[in-house]
Homo-oligomer: A and B are copies of this chain.
Amino acid sequence: MNGAVDLPLGQSELGFTAAGDARVRRSVLPSGVRVLSEQVPGSRSVTVGFWVAVGSRDEHHADGALPATYGSTHFLEHLLFKGTAERTALDIAISFDSVGGEHNALTAKEYTCYYARVQDRDLPMAIGALADMFTSSLLDPLEFDNERGVILEELSMAGDDPADVANERFFEAVLGEHPLGRPIGGDPETIRAATRDAVWAHFQANYRPQDLVVTVAGAVDHDRLVGDLERALTRAGWDLTAQAPPVERRSTEPAYLETGAAVTVVSRPIEQVNLLMGVPGLVATDERRSTMSVLNTAFGSGMSSRLFQQVRERRGLAYSVYSFAQAYSDAGIFGMYAGCAPAKAGTVAALMRTELERVAEHGITPDELHRAAGQLGGASALALEDSDTRMSRLGRAELTLGEFVDLDEALRRTALVTVDDVQSLAQDLVSRPFSLVAVGATDESAFHYAIEPAASTLDVG
């Protein structure tokens, strides 16, 4: 174990606590590398993720020598697949393809994750390839220009998807000038302007041992994992004897958001209006996060939810309609989505807002509370059958929450939520400034009613 600090169940180390599950282990190497694993009995496969707590929100806060460019985090993510001194891009692709593994990466607003799902016997290969990519990518200038074209096509694809466009604009609308409001991938201008030197500086500044978090779930033995990882990182050229503390987690103090009630319309000659409406939500560590899960479930998740019943079942106004809560370290979003006919968009927006205000005014029923708890527990149990869900849960525990919560503990917390808690949270949410984004053949006048406080008087009974 080479001097790693190991965290048994229930103890606390560097602000990290683990509750409930004896099969989760965490080690901090002297170099600051953190390793978390969850062994799943009977599993024959494994998912491994290499994480850094750097996302699109950090692009102008990176401490590299050159200014980073919007979209450079995502650009770098692409380039890590393009070759090292030891492996060409094709070598990397063949390594995973030839064993039928999944390998990919995800750039988010607050982190970047490179991951692979493979059969148990292929875990050492996956660790070797990911460690090489993470430490030793070349960012070859020719590959850089080639990949620029790929990324521009990726942005074009998203630009042709009205739901994607609505989502990007919704974050801007709700979070205002906060860096979490920016699109993850940059835009065509910033990608065309991106330089290899700036992305290289970004790589050097943010992919150090103390930045790396490795999480693994499935068929994994923790001690062997730590040994394999140390060997792979050392072989790739890292000095793991140099002492460094892990990078600290971000501040969890809610940010001040300068944003007001507003309607944004992106006019497009398409069939549906893609409608998003919502307010600033909770930060990831907010103590009301279990309450938010219950509210979001009863209000807008599943076919029995308020939104589905009111908008689709009773009126046939939409095919897809739901709510969502997304939480980051210092800001969050609570939103509602529907895709509907242009002539009905104003009605749907008013219905969505009215339903949320109805919960604020009257709460949910004990039946709805009970069902939401059952839904959250059952859905979590099913989701945790996939090792990638468990791998991500470990990453979120380390990077965002500072604690690991197993299913039993999560259910215990959910069971403590009361109808009063849900109503109070709904009251808090409806008091915040509503933003509305519509992409489609519509205009702002359709939504004045939904954005006025008077919307609560609409009769939707």
Residue ranges of A at the interface with B (Cβ–Cβ < 8 Å): 41-42, 44-45, 81, 89-90, 92-94, 96-103, 117-119, 122, 145-154, 156-157, 159-162, 269-272, 302-305, 308-309, 312-320, 339-341, 370-371, 374-382, 385-386
Contact = CB atoms under 8 A, between A and B. Distances in A.
Nearest to A385: B45
A375 B101 CA distance: 7
B94 A148 contact: no
Nearest to A92: B303
Given A304-B93, A340-B153, A100 B381 contact: yes
Nearest to A298: B97
Given A380-B100, A382-B117, A90 B309 contact: yes
A296 to B, nearest CB: 13
Contacts of A318: 150, 153
A4 to B, nearest CB: 30
Contacts of A159: 270-271
A100 B271 CA distance: 33
A320 B157 CA distance: 9
A152 B312 CA distance: 12
A385 B45 CA distance: 9
A316 B146 contact: yes
Given A272-B157, A339-B153, A382 B100 contact: yes
Contact of A375 (B45, B97, B161, B271): B97
Contacts of A145: 316
Copies in the complex: 2
Nearest 9 pairs between A and B by C-beta?
A: A100-B378, A149-B316, A100-B379, A93-B303, A156-B271, A93-B304, A146-B316, A154-B319, A97-B302
Contact of A153 (B317, B370, B376): B317
Given A152-B341, A154-B319, 20 more contacts: A44-B385, A45-B381, A93-B313, A97-B302, A97-B374, A98-B374, A98-B378, A100-B382, A118-B378, A119-B378, A146-B316, A150-B318, A153-B316, A153-B317, A153-B320, A153-B341, A157-B339, A159-B270, A160-B270, A269-B269
Contacts of A153: 272, 316-320, 339-341
Contact of A161 (B99, B122, B161, B320): B161
A149 B317 contact: yes
A381 to B, nearest CB: 6
Contacts of A42: 41-42
A150 B119 contact: no
B271 A89 contact: no
A371 B98 contact: yes
Given A42-B42, A303-B93, A319-B153, A314 B378 contact: no
Contacts of A149: 315-317
27 contacts: A89-B313, A92-B303, A93-B302, A93-B303, A93-B308, A93-B313, A94-B304, A97-B304, A97-B374, A99-B378, A100-B374, A100-B378, A100-B380, A102-B382, A119-B382, A145-B316, A146-B313, A146-B316, A149-B315, A149-B317, A150-B312, A153-B340, A156-B272, A156-B339, A157-B272, A159-B271, A160-B270
A157 B339 CA distance: 7
